[in-house]
Amino acid sequence: MTTSPVREPAAPSHGGRPRVVIIGSGFGGLFAAQRLRKADVDITLIGKTSHHLFQPLLYQVATGILSEGEIAPATREVLRRQENVRVVLGEVTDIDLGARTVTSTVLGRTTVHPYDELIVAAGAGQSYFGNDRFAEFAPGMKSIDDALELRGRIFGAFELAELAEDPAEVDRLMTFVVVGAGPTGVEMAGQIAELAHRTLRKDFRRIDPTTARVVLLDAAPKVLPSFGEKLGDRARRQLNEIGVEVQLGAMVTDVDADGIEIKDADGQVRRINAATKIWAAGVQASPLARLLGEQSGAQVDRAGRVAVLPDLTLPGHPEVHVVGDMMALDRLPGVAQVAIQGGRYAADQIKRKLAGREPLPPFQYHDKGSMATISRFHAVTDLGKLKFEGFIAWMMWLVVHLFYIVGFKSRVTTVLHWLVSFLGRGRSQRVATQQQVFGRLALENLGPEFEASKTGGPKTVPHGEDLTGRESA
Ligand SMILES: Cc1cc2nc3c(=O)[nH]c(=O)nc-3n(C[C@H](O)[C@H](O)[C@H](O)COP(=O)(O)OP(=O)(O)OC[C@H]3O[C@@H](n4cnc5c(N)ncnc54)[C@H](O)[C@@H]3O)c2cc1C
């Protein structure tokens, strides 16, 4: 069902207060909204999901350590005490810089939001470097849906292996390939190895999960290249110790249901038979970045990020602020702190502008370091001149992540689940449903016509069949 666009009142709704529209409820968007807590403005925060997502711990949802709720609190609950914010569910499909409006849509309901100031923080998605067909067999890890699908695929592979008769099929089912040796790939491979070698050790009768093969591969010659040579080497050694095979200089040339094809640095092409493939390589900025580039004349780089001015605004549009993973400035990395600091900076600029004060000096990013866990009690932490590895780095990782998880309840339950997994051997979140595993592909197969039936609109479905067997969706 589609409706004609609803236009929000053109005049500010509460006594002529300036309207700030924020796109995205991730790190950039949420922290910008919170920074405007005491500002005399009306904020509309538009997100295509109803939750804020703490992406750095997605891999723990995928491997059964944490529940999705712990890393994805409802945005409106987080902001419930901030009365100047209205949270709106919807995917932004258009931004009109001339008319100063943002158009969002959800299930055929379209809304146009006028703004006086706009903060765009729509983040980035997965990039398959032009090979989008890989996505069918090698899901990425960017959303709760992705993490739950991967959880189902990982635990499901062991279940199927227990049933398989053919040893080659058992091997295929118990081989896990993670593509991309950056922090996400390293953390994911490390956790699958711990799952197989510790958690599931005694759970099966016919297979031995400790013989599972976990392969981490990357076309680049190094593990964790952004952490420098020393920490990268340490991480590689630790991965080997917990049973992860690290294959570098290995470029993925094809992915199918049964495995993955790789071209090595010497030109040799080989294949790994693996039921579970996980894509943790490459990001592509939200398509909104290109849209902003086209309208403002700002450059868009190969990763689809729009170049911003030093104050994070677009050329010719001091009222449009772009922050986080979708903006390009001074080769800043796509990490949470860039988005958080950028969101807060944009909010501060808006407050100063509205108070008639001088603008802030150009945005300056304060690098607080980076960290990646490899296994329980083992991480690497790069604080610039100070580098740590092992238990001390892992404790730092633990404290920092607990600090940034949103909400007291989530912190408490996260600690409990970590105790279960790291001190014990358990994983509290092993539920995997058919919908999690097959939902994405089923929706893709149903095609765009299915959109209409989701809204309770026209009941016709492709090919005239009722695929659900029910009266209405
Ligand atoms: C698996 C993984 C692990 C990571 N680990 C780390 C780490 O350990 N440390 C670190 O610093 N960084 C890490 N990152 C990177 C970090 O999460 C990002 O840099 C950060 O989230 C960027 O913030 P953002 O606000 O730009 O985008 P996001 O946090 O991605 O938020 C974007 C928001 O925009 C919404 N959105 C997107 N398109 C639209 C649209 N059209 N309409 C409406 N809403 C839209 C999304 O739903 C989301 O709410 C990781 C990322 C991933 C995927």
pLDDT tens string 39-61:
999 999 999 999 999 999 999 99
User: 293 and 158 in one domain?
Assistant: no
Reply yes or no on whether the pLDDT at 112 is more than 50. yes
CB of 49 closer than 6 angstroms to any ligand 1 atom: yes
Inside any domain, residue 39: yes
Report the atom number in ligand 1 closest to the C-alpha of 47. 44
Distance of CA 117 to the CA centre of its chain: 26
State the DSSP code for 372: E
Residues in the chain: 473
Beta bridge partners of 379: 373, 390
User: 214 and 102 in one domain?
Assistant: no
* Helix/strand/coil percent split, the chain, to 5: 35, 25, 40
> What is the reported pLDDT for 470?
35
Domain span at residue 165? 132-280+370-422
User: 218 and 143 in one domain?
Assistant: yes
User: 210 and 104 in one domain?
Assistant: no
Inside any domain, residue 328: yes
| Distance from residue 378's CA to the centre of ligand 1 (Å) | 25
Report the atom number in ligand 1 closest to the C-alpha of 333. 19
CB of 47 closer than 6 angstroms to any ligand 1 atom: yes
Averaged pLDDT score across all residues of the chain: 91
pLDDT level of residue 217 (50, 70, 90 thresholds): very high
pTM of the model: 0.92
pLDDT level of residue 409 (50, 70, 90 thresholds): confident
User: 250 and 172 in one domain?
Assistant: yes
Calculate what percentage of the chain has a pLDDT beyond 90. 82
β-strand 327-328 against 259-264: which pairing, if any? unpaired
| Distance from residue 305's CA to the centre of ligand 1 (Å) | 13
Reply yes or no on whether the pLDDT at 462 is more than 50. no
**Residue 110, domain CATH:** 3.50.50.60
Report the atom number in ligand 1 closest to the C-alpha of 104. 42
Taking a C-beta distance cutoff of 8 angstroms, is the pair 248, 216 a contact?
no
Inside any domain, residue 176: yes
> What is the reported pLDDT for 3?
55
Taking only the tens place, the pLDDT of each residue in 122-156 is 999 999 999 999 999 999 999 999 999 999 999 99
Task: Please state, in angstroms and as integers, the Cα–Cα distance from residue 51 to each residue in 36, 75, 340, following that order.
Answer: 19, 5, 17
User: 261 and 199 in one domain?
Assistant: yes
User: 120 and 40 in one domain?
Assistant: yes
Taking a C-beta distance cutoff of 8 angstroms, is the pair 372, 393 a contact?
no
Task: Please state, in angstroms and as integers, the Cα–Cα distance from residue 328 to each residue in 294, 304, 319, 462, following that order.
Answer: 15, 9, 18, 42
User: 385 and 309 in one domain?
Assistant: no
CA Rg value for the chain? 23
User: 139 and 113 in one domain?
Assistant: no
CB of 139 closer than 6 angstroms to any ligand 1 atom: no
The answer to whether residue 389 is catalytic is no
List 8, 187, 194, 389, catalytic entry: 187
Please state the domain count of the chain.
3
Report the atom number in ligand 1 closest to the C-alpha of 143. 53
Between CA 328 and CA 319 the distance in angstroms is: 18
Beta bridge partners of 229: none
Q: CA dihedral in degrees (200, 201, 203, 204; nearest 10)?
A: 110
User: 457 and 318 in one domain?
Assistant: no
Between CA 380 and CA 170 the distance in angstroms is: 34
Between CA 59 and CA 70 the distance in angstroms is: 13
Between CA 367 and CA 181 the distance in angstroms is: 22
Ligand 1: residue of 49, 55, 284 to mutate (most ligand atoms within 8 A of CB) is 55
Beta bridge partners of 112: 7, 103
CB of 23 closer than 6 angstroms to any ligand 1 atom: yes
Q: Which residues contact 232 (CB under 8 A, 6 or more apart)?
A: 222, 223, 224, 225
